[in-house]
Amino acid sequence: MKLSAFFGQINQNYVENTGTEITPAMEQGLKNGKEAILLKLPGQTISGEVLMKEGSDVLLSIGKNQLLQARLEGNMSVLPGQLLAFQIKNNSGSRVVLSPLFENIGQDPNVSRALRAAGLPENSITAGMVRAMMQEGLSIDRQALYQMNRVVSANPQADLQTLVQMQRLSLPATPENIAQFEAYKNYHHQIGQSLLDIADAFSQTFQELTGGGSLKEGISFYQDVLSAVLLKGAGEGEAGEAAAQAQGSAGQPLSGEGAPAGEALSGGAFSEEILTPAQARELAAQMRQAGMPEQATKAFLANRLTTRELLGEIEGLLTREDVPERAVFELLEGKGFKALLKSHMTNQWLLDPQEVGREGSVDRLYERLNSQMNRLSQALSQAARVDTPLARAVANVNSNIDFMNQLNHMFNYVQLPLKMQSKNAGGELFVYTNRKSLARKDGSVSALLHLDMEHLGGVDVHVSLTDQRVATKFYLQDEGALDLIAQNISILNKRLEDRGYSMNAEFIHQDETANVMEEILKQGKSISPLAGYSFDARA
């Protein structure tokens, strides 16, 4: 049965703005179609069955219970019932614009022949499935089509191309994996931003818990939070923590050199990257009011405590049964405590660029993240706060890490969340190399660095290193920023030359950011890890 016939039972005479009633089923189908098209980028293709056409406006069925209103470009004559392929020209406004590819997938003899041989019905979904499988180089024999059709039927809201690509990569088509795969393809997957979202969401959850007047529940929540974020990851014993403190990671002193009590605040000795002098004074007063031992407060003012140690003191305070709840509430809601907690988490969860080349640093980062995210999930579950921005952010990080682990079974791929100097900058580093070249140890190593900079905007830098030769391509959306980098590239050239490298740089203006998943898909299964390799991050 044609989808158009089924649709006719709902409301075949619907035309936008005519006042014709929209049935609930149709309204949901339009919503599903809009959500599906927003996951795609201009230039990508979709397939669907033409349900209605009036002028240049069409109504398409692009999947099970997925309807799409669009305007067609070009003069191709389309008729209801046709199965066609379209290229997306625009999907950012209120109306989607499509360009027909002048090919009727329903009449493709290879598609029809494959579906008939497999005994599957020929419609827009199955035809689109076969076409996507052919584009991905998958077999379209009877068994392969049956298997793919089961995956498509089990995930009616998912994009066909996504499901077929995941099938080729042997990635289980779970809702979590589908969401992560789409996020990776659309560059909405940066784990660094998700981690910062977690840091910003703690206060909101605490306010929700205490909003009903139950301070005890909110204090218990922060006790669990501190227990989680102060948890040492695997391999982080006393020696590991000492090294971390020496590097300024997770044990960063609150100020510069230690100072005697009563003198630490004079002259702004506390590093304003963490606490301003005013915030430090306010935090000390709140600690005293909450019953913090005077010895700990004085050590804080004398700048003899690291962020980890001070947060540990506050965690111990929260475990006491005789603490004044209102005073503790003021402490936990204060700017000083929030700044300390966010600083500690940033140091725990993001890597300094110079850390990237240190052996084991990435392994330790993800071990720490895995342990702490699991603890946070448990804390949120116990507090019955599983549907909050914080819980969703934690779940997204967990899903992202799990997805990366699955990718590593095939691609040996890693994403590195970087901590940049500017507070408003973030970075993602993706490293890959050809497996055969790596085995010979004479091939090139490539990396794609994506930065969101405060003044430069989105920056993508593709670097390829072969022996001592470095080829670099800078992709920027802002032409002025592109000119600025080109004018100052001599600084980077000089630093690389001082270390024995030679560099060739290109500067390219682009409208969209680079898509790392497309790069991974293009590389196929020839990607291998940087085992034993590292970039000279000092340059």
More confident residue, 101 or 290: 290
Average pLDDT on 103-108 reads: 53
Neighbours of 46 (CB within 10 A): 27
Which tokens go with 534?
């590292």
Mean pLDDT of 373-378: 86
CATH architecture of 420-528: 2-Layer Sandwich (3.30)
Bridge partners of 11, per DSSP, are none
Q: How far apart are the first and last CA of the chain?
A: 64
Judge if 3-106 and 420-528 fold alike in CATH terms: no
Fold of 3-106: OB fold (Dihydrolipoamide Acetyltransferase, E2P) (2.40.50)
Mean pLDDT of 267-291: 77
The answer, yes or no, to whether residue 533 has pLDDT greater than 50, is: no
| Per-residue buried b or exposed e for 506-518, using 16+ beta carbons within 10 Å of the residue's own CB | eeeeeeebbbbbe
- For range 403-418, the mean pLDDT: 73
pLDDT score at 196 = 78
Tell me how far apart the alpha carbons of residues 412 and 407 are, in angstroms, rounded to a whole number: 7
Using 50, 70 and 90 to split pLDDT, how confident is the model at 368? Answer: confident
In this prediction, residue 378 carries a pLDDT of: 83
The C-alpha torsion from 175 through 181 and 186 to 190, rounded to 10°, is: 100
Residue with tokens 């240190």: 358
For the chain, domain boundaries: 3-106, 108-168, 191-389, 420-528
Backbone angles phi, psi at 249, to 5 degrees: -105, 120
- Give this prediction's pTM: 0.61
Q: Report strand pairing: 502-509 vs 426-434.
A: unpaired
Q: What does the pLDDT read at residue 3?
A: 36
Q: How far is Cα 317 from Cα 314, in angstroms, rounded to an integer?
A: 5
> What are the backbone dihedrals phi and psi of residue 11, each rounded to the nearest 5 degrees, phi first?
-170, 80
Span 483-502, pLDDT tens digits: 888 889 999 899 889 989 99
Averaged pLDDT, 299-326 = 88
Mean pLDDT of 20-27: 72
